[in-house]
Amino acid sequence: MIASPLLPRGGPHSEVTARCTAASIFSSLLGVWQSVPYLFADFWGLTRHRKTAAAGVDTHAAPYQVYLFALATVPAAGLWTGFQQAQKLYAIVGAMFIPLLAVALLVLNGQSRLVGKRQRNSLPVTLLLLAAVVVFVVAVWFEIQRRLALG
């Protein structure tokens, strides 16, 4: 079982905990496999072909299928890297998630032609997203300054 190494041995609820943990891991994997290629295909359609989100996403189209294939094969490159290098890459990509999400939301939800006038970002939402990007840029700037001072 995938979750077995994560759990303590024994106890009255260990089997239930193991099953619940395995179920949550499975549902998380299933959610990623279903939603991320769909989001990419929707983004691709909105920015390249369609004018509105009402057209939906074709899960048999090339953008969805290519992203699904990449999602299944690209992580295999980790088999040829060391564990510490993979951890560092995962940390860097994970740290970039919120600022990149903020930029994507600013770009995509800031255009009335893509989401309609009613669904556009409001001023407070736009300011919060900009604040997230600014905080990240400032943190990166300080880290670069710190590294240059040490080196």
Tens of pLDDT along 104-114? 999 888 888 87
DSSP 21-51: HHHHHHHHHHHHHHHHHHHHHHHHIIIII-S
How many residues are given for the chain?
151
CA distances from 1 to 19, 25, 51, 112 (A): 9, 11, 46, 48
Which pLDDT does position 9 carry in this prediction?
62
Average pLDDT on 134-145 reads 92
CA distances from 137 to 2, 100, 131, 141 (A): 38, 11, 10, 6
Average pLDDT on 132-148 reads 91
Percentage of the chain lying above the pLDDT 90 cut? 19
Which pTM value belongs to this model? 0.52
